[in-house]
Amino acid sequence: MKEFFTTTIGAWDDGSVRLTAPGIAVVVVIIALLVIVAAVIRHRNAEKKTILTTKQLVYSAVAIALAVVCSMIKFANLPMGGSVTLFSMLFIALIGYWYGPYVGLMTAVAYGLVQFVMEPIFYTVPQMILDYPLAFGALGLAGFFANKKHGLQIGYIVAVFGRYVFAVISGVVFFGAYAPEGTPAIVYSLTYNATYIVPETIATLIVISLPPVAKALAQVKKNALSA
């Protein structure tokens, strides 16, 4: 059964596995179920005017699409995963900043699964969960700062830090063997993951703090929250 969903011919040629077409189909079904569950919850809570609205669903889908496209524009690509992209994490963090933690986390987890489908290579299921739905899902933490002053900047930093924490844990537990001789796994993982996350974070914070960009994002947020 395992061979039906995965193949041992991994891109790293070191025991990693790659999803087969049926395996990818299962992940796609999981993404679809996330959307369905969100829609059901929305229906049951319609009178409370909470949870996911159609407009939020549309904006979330657009954000995932933009994040995927920007994630393909890479300024640096590390050998064991991780890359400096064109602000891809920002689009997911924005959904949380606009709509709060529930929509933000749901969108971020879905985005993590989409990223996994795009490059379905992994060692074990726990490692996959850490590196994709949890690490990328942490970008939804920006939603907890939706109504704070400078909430976008603070939320983005917290969201990216959340992703960094999960990436570091994965690096220590599953990739520590790749640390240079004499280098502790924790130091290797902290350094490796900072190499691609920190530059993109700094660049993004600079860009979103520019007055014209901040004004444009404020207008988009106004449109996203309008009835």
Q: What is the pLDDT of residues 166-223, one digit of tens each?
A: 999 999 999 988 899 999 999 999 999 999 999 999 999 999 999 999 999 999 999 9
Q: Among 49, 64, 88, identify where a domain stops.
A: 49
Instruction: Reduce the DSSP state of residue 78 to 3 states and report it.
Output: coil
- Say how far apart CA 226 and CA 46 lie, in whole Å: 17
43 and 154 together in one domain:
no
Instruction: Looking at the structure, tell me whether residues 65 and 9 fall in a common domain.
Output: no
Confidence of residue 40 (pLDDT cuts 50, 70, 90): low
Task: Give yes or no: residues 80 and 137 share one domain.
Answer: yes
Give which of 143, 115, 118 is closest to 131, Cα–Cα: 115
What is the tens place of the pLDDT at every residue in 9-30?
555 456 677 777 777 787 778 7
In this prediction, residues 96-103 reach a mean pLDDT of: 92
| pLDDT tens figures, 45-82 | 555 555 578 889 899 999 999 999 999 999 998 887 89
Does one domain contain both 152 and 65? yes
3 and 93, same domain (yes or no): no
DSSP annotation of 50 reads -
- Check which CATH number belongs to the domain holding 113 and give it: 1.10.1760.20
Please indicate, yes or no, whether residues 155 and 68 belong to a single structural domain of this protein: yes
| Residue 79: other Cβ atoms inside 10 A | 8
64 and 153 share one domain: yes
Domains: count for the chain: 2
Q: What is the pLDDT of residues 114-144, one digit of tens each?
A: 999 888 878 888 999 999 999 999 999 999 9
Is the pLDDT at 38 greater than 60? The verdict is yes
Q: Are residues 171 and 199 in the same domain?
A: yes
Yes or no: say if 64 and 56 are a contact pair by the CB < 8 Å rule.
Answer: no
Predicted TM-score of the model (pTM)? 0.86
pLDDT of residue 4: 56
Q: Do residues 109 and 205 both lie within one domain?
A: yes
Distance separating alpha carbons of residues 135 and 175, to the nearest angstrom? 15
Same domain for 64 and 155? yes
For residue 39, name the pLDDT band (cuts at 50, 70, 90): low
Range of the domain at 142: 52-225
Q: Which residues pair with 17 in a beta bridge?
A: 122
